Amino acid sequence: MIPLSYFLGLSIVLFVLGAVAFFVKKDLITMFMSIEIMFNAGNLAFITLARAANSLDGQVIVFFIITVAAAEAAVGLAIILLIFRQKKTIKSEDMRLMKG
Amino acid sequence: MTEIFWLIPFVPALSTLILAVFGRILPKKWVSFQACFSVFVSFVIAVFSFIGLLQTSHDKVPLIKTLFSWIRAGSFEANLSLQLDSLSAVMALVVSGVGFIIHVYSVGYMAEDEGYKRYFTYLNLFTFAMLLLVMASNLVLMFIGWEGVGLCSYLLIGFWFEKHSAANAGKKAFIVNRIGDAGFLLGIFFTLILIGSFEFTAINEAISGGVLAQGAATLIAILFFVGATGKSAQIPLYVWLPDAMEGPTPVSALIHAATMVTAGVYMVSRLNLLYTFSGAAAQIVAIVGALTAVYAATMALTQNDIKRVLAYSTISQIGYMFIGCGVGAFAAGMFHLYTHAFFKSLLFLAAGSVMHALSGELNMQKMGGLRKYLPLTYPTFLIGAIAIAGIPFFSGFFSKDAILSQAFAQGQYFVWVLGLMGAIMTAFYMFRLIFLTFYGRERLEPEAKRHLHESPPMMTVPLVILAFFSVVAGYVGLPIVLGKNVNLFDRFLEPVIKVSHEPHLTLGTEWLLILVSVAVALFGIYLAYLFYLKNPQIPHNLVARFPFIYKLLYNKYYVDEIYDAAFVNTTVKGSELIYDHFDLKVIDGVLDGTASATNFSGKIMAYLQSGLLKDYALVFLFGAILFLGYLLLF
């Protein structure tokens, strides 16, 4: 039996990796991917704790998150594609239209 | 027909409404007919109400018709209710009767004017407001009429508003009246606080029942009199009336001589119990009246504008009415109001006819010798002048004598002497006017002389009717020397105005007083004859000898200039000062300051909004960490 802390530790490591990648990387695709990693870190924590608490709720929520993430990925990629067509770049620093 | 007396004001009101809404599309003939006819209907109802009132027993008077409850708040209540008693019946008869004659005259006088329909709309509106004023059964409704006539006065003085002087005169009248109205309003408020009701019947009951302290009564009475000095052009608020002559002449006759300016006298008579109870207030009324009577007469002596002479004469005559009210002879004051309405509107309409004949000339120095050109205007003008001068057997004699003998009987010798001085001057300036206009050498402008013509019958017939009444109107109030109960006018007014039972003068004294006032009037006429017909050099010599007095009188004691310097200019200057220093600096400063503070804080906050996705994400991350930390720690 693999102890609970291993699962949670992996989840934390994945989340921190995702967060760091989000702030370090410049192109939108990579940033988008790091968001997905943070999602899955969350999913892992949900399933682990649901299993430990012997409850189905956490596992159901994970299904929802996967569904939403799939839809969100489609929309997000479409947006990035359109931005690229307009600006010929996907660097986040080049997009400052909302500067006050 | 007495039951429908409350319709009297509303017939002209309906006519006003129709003229105001459909005036543009109605033909001119129909407008003339409708305007005159509506006032005539009011007059007919007034006559029938008057007859009905004579047959009603005294304990049922006043007849009150409450149309609906207008304002109700707690114990405060003001109704739209009209009343008919002898006082309001007399006023309604005078207003609608003289008003009708002047409407007819206006049809001829204003025939060529572009604002013909507008003129009749205003004139009808005035008739409505004035009738509402005299028939109101409470102070609040009376105030509505009071303001209504003020508004019409403003509209009609400034009728030819493209003329700068007319527009200014209208504004002056309105503002000066506003000062008086403030006093009137305060009086109404005090009445509400101290008596608790606006109805005249309730006020009279409260005074007879001793609810009101004498000091409070004096305060209220004086405040009301302040209102009266504004509307009735007494010292110190008389300045608007001479300027009001900028309006069309029939307006001067109806509003600024016969009816509206006497509203103050009516109001004081309506509240006669209050003034009698106060005593001190009545004394003030008498003194102000007497001073005004003399003061205005002196200014009339030197004026050359025919309408201005008549305007000062009106101020002076209203002064006499206030003498009557002030010495407790309210009936005599009302009697003078009633006779004055006829002869003064006659004088104004005749003056209008002279102007009409001379293509609008007002300066008496450019007239003279007109009597053979104006065969109808001249005799009617002469009748008016005789009536106002106080020659026996004409109406003005009876009423003026009644006032002066009452003043004497009440021991007010000072007031009586002032009244006699005013009477000399009245006779003098009226006959100066007659001699300068109708006698002597012709001094006409050649242009005016070519167009010289008598006025059309539409204008001369009203003159004849008014001349008739100027002669006979006095016979309803014969003096006591002719018998005990010959003064029908006093007896008719008795339900409203209690005749005081002071010791009367002996018949011998009464005769003596009559002789004195007749002698005074004849002396004034003789002086005018001497000055302006027999020896025209005398006035020039007098002017040369006393240039200071002449200049003072000719410039109306410089009162307009003093008021300008003291009140008008200080107000204007003060307003400019406040505009420059308060409006521009404080108010604008506060507003601009708020705007620039918002602008500045917006600029500071804008630094947070970098537009970079990562900055926002960082803030989000820190927020999440803080929130989680809070959850973990606490």
DSSP output for B155-201 = HHHTTTTTSHHHHHHHHHHHHHHHHHHHHHHHHHHHHHHHT---BHH
Report which of B513, B353, B507, B512 is spatially closest to residue B438, judged by C-alpha positions. B353
- Portion 209-248 of B in contact with A at CB < 8 A: none
Is the pLDDT assigned to residue B502 strictly greater than 70? no
How far A93 CA lies from chain B's nearest CA (Å)? 6
Q: Whole-number mean pLDDT of chain B?
A: 90
Q: For B504-519, write each residue's pLDDT tens digit.
A: 778 888 888 889 999 9
What pLDDT sits at residue B608? 84
Q: Cα–Cα distance between B288 and B324 in angstroms, integer? A: 12
Q: Name every residue whose Cβ is closer than 8 Å to that of residue B424 and which is 6 or more positions away in sequence.
A: B520, B521, B523, B524, B527
Q: Which residue of A has its CA nearest to B615?
A: A23
What pLDDT sits at residue B223? 95
Percent share of chain B, pLDDT over 70:
99
Instruction: Please report which residue ranges of B7-163 form alpha helices under DSSP H.
Output: 10-22, 28-55, 86-109, 116-135, 139-157
Q: Which residue of A has its CA nearest to B619?
A: A23
Instruction: Please report which residue ranges of B439-555 form alpha helices under DSSP H.
Output: 446-450, 457-472, 488-493, 507-529, 537-545, 547-554
Q: Name every residue whose Cβ is closer than 8 Å to that of residue B592 and which is 6 or more positions away in sequence.
A: none
Residue to mutate among A12, A20, A23, with most B CBs inside 10 A, is A23
CB of B610 within 8 Å of a chain A CB? The answer is: yes
CB of A64 within 8 Å of a chain B CB? The answer is: no
Q: Cα–Cα distance between B205 and B215 in angstroms, integer? A: 18
Q: Cα–Cα distance between B382 and B92 in angstroms, integer? A: 28
Q: For B424-443, write each residue's pLDDT tens digit.
A: 999 999 999 999 999 888 88
Query: Minimum mean pLDDT among A11-15, A53-57, B54-58: which range?
Result: B54-58
Q: Cα–Cα distance between B201 and B204 in angstroms, integer? A: 5
pLDDT category, B370, cuts 50, 70, 90?
Answer: confident
**Residues in chain B within 8 Å Cβ distance of A96:** 610-612
Nearest to A99 among B610, B618, B621 (CB): B610
Query: Minimum mean pLDDT among B448-457, B476-485, B621-630: which range?
Result: B476-485
pLDDT category, A61, cuts 50, 70, 90?
Answer: very high
Q: Which residue of B has its CA nearest to A96?
A: B611
What pLDDT sits at residue B503? 55
What pLDDT sits at residue B357? 87
- Cβ pair B614:A92 closer than 8 A: yes
- Cβ pair B606:A98 closer than 8 A: no
Alpha carbon B132 to its chain's center: 15
Place of tokens 């007859």: B51
Report which of B280, B142, B272 is spatially closest to residue B204, judged by C-alpha positions. B272
Q: For B2-59, write each residue's pLDDT tens digit.
A: 788 899 999 999 999 999 999 889 999 999 999 999 999 999 999 999 998 888 887 7
How far B597 CA lies from chain A's nearest CA (Å)? 18
**Residues in chain A within 8 Å Cβ distance of B624:** none
Q: Name every residue whose Cβ is closer than 8 Å to that of residue A22 and which is 6 or more positions away in sequence.
A: A31, A34, A35, A38, B614, B617
Instruction: Read off the pTM.
Output: 0.81
Nearest to A96 among B605, B612, B617 (CB): B612
Q: Assess contact for B232 and B265: CB atoms under 8 A.
A: yes
**Residues in chain B within 8 Å Cβ distance of A97:** 611
Identify which has the larger pLDDT, A64 or B3.
A64
**Residues in chain A within 8 Å Cβ distance of B614:** 22-23, 92
Distances (CA, A) of B429 to B248, B379, B432, B438, B552: 23, 17, 5, 14, 17
Residue to mutate among A26, A92, A94, with most B CBs inside 10 A, is A92
Identify which has the larger pLDDT, B448 or B97.
B97
Q: What does the DSSP assignment read for B257-290? A: IISGGGHHHHHHHHTHHHHHHHSHHHHHHHHHHH
CB of A99 within 8 Å of a chain B CB? The answer is: yes
Q: Cα–Cα distance between B21 and B124 in angstroms, integer? A: 13
CB of A96 within 8 Å of a chain B CB? The answer is: yes
pLDDT category, A71, cuts 50, 70, 90?
Answer: very high
- The secondary structure of residue B506, as a DSSP letter, is P
Distances (CA, A) of B489 to B49, B63, B87, B414: 17, 20, 10, 27
Angle at B419 between CA B415 and CA B420, to 5 degrees: 120
Q: Within a 10 A sphere around the Cβ of B454, how many other Cβ atoms? A: 16
Identify which has the larger pLDDT, B153 or B485.
B153
Q: Within a 10 A sphere around the Cβ of B372, how many other Cβ atoms? A: 9
Q: How many Cα atoms are found within 13 Å in the side-chain-facing hemisphere of A49?
A: 14
- Cβ pair B612:A100 closer than 8 A: no
Q: For B271-325, write each residue's pLDDT tens digit.
A: 999 999 988 999 999 999 999 999 999 999 988 999 999 999 999 999 999 999 9
Backbone dihedral region of B368: left (phi > 0), alpha (psi from -120 to 50 degrees) or beta?
left
- Cβ pair A92:B613 closer than 8 A: yes
What pLDDT sits at residue B501? 55
What pLDDT sits at residue B100? 94
- Cβ pair A95:B611 closer than 8 A: yes
Identify which has the larger pLDDT, A44 or B550.
A44
CB of B619 within 8 Å of a chain A CB? The answer is: no
Average pLDDT over residues B482-493: 79
Q: Name every residue whose Cβ is closer than 8 Å to that of residue B487 and which is 6 or more positions away in sequence.
A: B402, B477, B478, B479, B480
- Cβ pair B610:A97 closer than 8 A: no
Identify which has the larger pLDDT, A20 or B62.
A20
Q: Cα–Cα distance between B88 and B317 in angstroms, integer? A: 21
Average pLDDT over residues B125-148: 94
Q: Residues, chain B, total?
A: 634
Nearest to B611 among A19, A31, A99 (CB): A99
The complex scores an ipTM of: 0.86
